[in-house]
């Protein structure tokens, strides 16, 4: 029930955005996350963007995970 999936914003019209989830296109509300630009990723829950996905943090998390996995 707390399903949240990242999707890429490809179109914005007023407070709605069209997002792309692996090729599946969906219209969602930006009422809870208005400050997004085209090309950014948002976390989608029941038809709303609830937060932006921070690409930099994602990269840092992955880098850390890779280092941890390599035993560094």
Partner 1 sequence: MKFIDEFRDKEIAEGLIQRIRKTSTRPTQLMEVCGTHTVSIFRYGIRGILPEQIKLISGPGCPVCVTPNGDIDLAIALSRQKDVIIATFGDMMRVPGSTSSLQKEKAEGRDIRIIYSSLEALKIAKEYPEKKVVFLAIGFETTSPTIAVAILRAKEEKLHNLFFLNSQKRVPPALRALLQTKQVKIGGFILPGHVSTIIGINPYQFIAKEFDRPAVITGFEPLDILQGIWMLLKQIEENRTAIEIQYRRVVHEEGNPIALKKIDEVFEKDEGRWRGLGLIPDSGYRFKESYKSMDVRNFEIEVEPLKEHPECLCGEVLQGIKSPLECRLFKKVCHPENPIGPCMVSIEGTCHTYYKFYQP
Partner 2 sequence: MPEDKILLAHGSGGKLSHDLIKQIFLPQFTNPSLEPLDDSAKITHRQGTIAFTTDSYVVNPIFFPGGDIGKLAVCGTVNDLSMIGATPSHLSLSLIVEEGFSIELLKQIISSIREVAEQAGVNIVTGDTKVVEHGAADQLFINTAGIGWIRQGVNLSGINAKPGDKILLSGYLGDHEMAVLSQREGFKFQGELKSDCAPLNDLVEKMLDTCPSIRCLRDPTRGGLATTLNEIAMMSNVGMVIEEEKVPVRESVRGISELLGLDPLYLANEGKLIAICPPNEEEHLLDVMREHPLGRDAEIIGRVVEENPKRVILHTLIGGHRILDMLTGGQYPRIC
Residues that bind partner 2 (CB under 8 A): 3, 5, 7, 20-26, 44
Under 8 Å CB-to-CB from 18, ≥6 apart: which residues? Answer: 9, 10, 11, 12, 25, 26, 27
> In whole angstroms, what separates CA 6 from the centre of its chain?
4
Identify the burial level of 17 via C-beta atoms within 10 angstroms of its C-beta, where 0-12 means exposed, 13-18 middle and 19 or more buried.
Answer: buried
**Segment 29-58, which members bind partner 1 (CB under 8 A)?**
29, 31-34, 41, 43, 45-48, 50-55, 57-58
For position 1 contacting partner 1 by CB under 8 A, the verdict is yes
**Which does residue 44 touch among partner 1, partner 2, none (CB within 5 to 8 A, set by kind)?**
partner 2
Which residues of the shown chain bind partner 1 in the complex (CB under 8 A)? Answer: 1-6, 8, 21-22, 29, 31-34, 41, 43, 45-48, 50-55, 57-58, 60-62, 64-66, 68-71
């Amino acid at each position: 029930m707390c399903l949240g999936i990242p999707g890429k914003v490809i179109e914005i019209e007023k407070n709605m955005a069209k997002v792309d989830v692996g090729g599946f296109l969906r219209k969602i509300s930006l009422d809870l996350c208005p400050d997004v630009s085209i090309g950014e990723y948002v976390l989608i829950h029941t038809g709303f963007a609830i937060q932006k996905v921070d690409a930099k943090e994602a990269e840092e998390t992955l880098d850390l995970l890779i280092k941890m996995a390599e035993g560094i």
